[in-house]
A and B are shown apart, each in its own frame.
Chain A
Amino acid sequence: MKEIVIISGKGGTGKTTVVLGLASLAKNAVLADCDVDAADMFLVLDPETHHTESFTGGKLAEILQDPCTACGKCREVCEFDAISEDYVVEPLACEGCGACYYFCPHDAILFEPQYTGTVFHSSSRLGPFFHARLNPGQENSGKLVTRVRNDARAAAVEQGKELILVDGSPGVGCPVVASVTGADYVLVVTEPTISGYHDLERVFELMSHFKLSGGVVINKFDIHPEMSDNIEALAVGNGFDRLGRIPYHAEEVISAMNNGQTVIEAAPGSPVATAVADVWQRLKARLAEETE
């Protein structure tokens, strides 16, 4: 079994469009949406959810006003200035370290795991599908990402599936790290813009930090062909495969999305669908090499 995680660094480069296209071609893969801040795969997959579960993440402190004597100990030990002068914890500032809870001499502090989101197990026309929704403003999306990946992996083992396709999140922070650690292959979808290039440099830094390898797909390559060449050179220099280039056809991609279809389902022979099919062929060949 192989787990492929698709990330992008920069947001909006077409990550989800590529994941959905690959899912159409792979057939029989397990799908996971780990972009828990902005999970959108379900809009196209139209899944049938058969299991819903609330998810509790990290802990937060809460001060009980009755036993509190306003002695000041909690405010003294809080490195994050999360406790106000009138002894109320600001949930956003609280990092959940538990120092106040431990040092409070009057047992006036609760320190409980927080309800941070919801996990969904579903079936879809393209395979078993796992996703989550993070409650707005919550942290610990890394833990929720890990949970979605673990659930997808368990299903793949149980159902004897060969492939897991994971839609990761943008950026290089906590949710991305949780998406890629331990992945078999990381596919980076980027675009030939000055910001796409800059973000990709940071993605490669992250990949080398975690000793991960993978390949690069350039979406909208023709809006700046020289930049596309530079990106591929950067990829090769970092030991990443060149998996393909997708032309800029905004209308085609958006019309597929509007119809709730992947680019492959909407127009199999179109320029975008053909480019995605090429990426799939290269990816398959690459994974076969690794297995040998």
Chain B
Amino acid sequence: MRIAVASGKGGTGKTFVATNLAALLADMGEGVTLADCDVEEPNSQLFIKPEIMETIPVTIEVPVIDNDKCTGCRLCSSHCEFHALITVKDKTYVFEDMCHGCGFCMRICPEGAIGKRDKVIGTFLKGQFGRGLFMEAEMKVGTELATPVIKFVKDRLPSGGVVILDSPPGTSCPVVETIQGCDYVILVTEPTPFGINDLKLAVEMCRSLKLKFGVVENRAMEGNTSVADFCETENIRLLASVPLEREIAECYSHGNLAIRELPAYRYRFVGLLDAVKEELGQ
């Protein structure tokens, strides 16, 4: 069972929900994997504090030009969609940060002047927390290829047990890469105009991908029914509401898990887990 935790708006509490849910499942003795797919800013580790057992570099193959063989024909540089090659006189230069590793230039070069080498674009980590498995990939700063780094994690997820995926924010390709193929998506939002607007986009995304999803309202305020109203109109299940409390902001700021520090929250997360299981008919 794969459950992705996503949100349109950043900072609504995706990591908060994903880490607490994963820790709760681990405490209950269930086989759980927490996979942090927010590769630009992965933070689950700070709360889960796993013991890291394995580190693997994530690489792509970038071109290496043999300028003795290059005749400056420009076939490669004029066909590179990513503007990663430039030919000046009879020499070609590579801008590795622009390269997507498609290998087109290597295939197209009539002189056989283009070889390849591995370029690191991220790091994959695997570890353990209690009885849970932890995975994370971090994109190397300065590269712009989030999606292949996410794919690297997804290719390594276990097939059994519950897998919780902490998604990047937004609704663009890295998010789609993360949530695609999941059994359920938890959309975390907050009862503000920004939160609701971005939730609408996330709902649109889930619907177009034909994924089952529900909503968690974080920082709920008494008397503010905007999230509940939206869910009712759109016929979406409101899985749980977490109140706006300074106590929880402080707990989070120190890197602590609410289910361990604040007993009332453990209760809420049990409720959330039950709601998700019910949605999945389990």
Binding site for B on A (CB under 8 A): 8-13, 16, 37-38, 40, 43-44, 58-59, 77, 79-80, 92, 95-99, 102-103, 134, 136-139, 141-142, 169-177, 191-196, 198-199, 202, 205-206, 209-210, 220, 223-224, 227, 248, 250-251, 254, 257-258, 260
Contacts and interface: CB of A to CB of B under 8 A. Distances in A.
Given A43-B194, A199-B41, 17 more contacts: A12-B10, A38-B198, A40-B197, A43-B193, A77-B104, A79-B61, A79-B103, A99-B102, A134-B172, A136-B172, A137-B205, A139-B147, A171-B10, A172-B41, A194-B253, A198-B46, A220-B249
17 contacts: A9-B41, A37-B170, A38-B10, A38-B201, A96-B81, A136-B204, A138-B173, A139-B172, A142-B144, A171-B10, A171-B40, A193-B252, A193-B255, A195-B41, A206-B141, A223-B249, A257-B194
A172 B139 contact: yes
For chain B, the bracket of interface size reads: 35 or more
Contacts of A10: 10-11, 41, 43
A154 B193 CA distance: 30
Interface of B: 8-12, 15, 40-41, 43, 46-47, 61, 79, 81-82, 100-104, 107-108, 139, 141-142, 144, 146-147, 168-177, 180, 191-194, 197-198, 201, 204-205, 208-209, 219, 221, 244, 246, 249-250, 252-255
Contact of B172 (A9, A37, A97, A251): A37
Contacts of A92: 173, 176-177, 180
Contact of A141 (B101, B172, B198): B172
Nearest to B138: A202
Contact of B11 (A102, A134, A170, A205): A170
Nearest to A137: B176
Contacts, number: 182
Contacts of A248: 246, 249
Query: Which 4 residue pairs are nearest across A and B when measured between Cβ atoms?
Result: A12-B11, A11-B10, A37-B170, A97-B102
B8 A38 contact: yes
Nearest to B13: A12
Contact of B254 (A95, A139, A194, A199): A194
Nearest to B15: A195
A58 B100 CA distance: 13
Nearest to A193: B253
Given A37-B171, A43-B194, A172-B41, A177 B144 contact: yes
A205 B40 CA distance: 12
A137 B41 contact: no
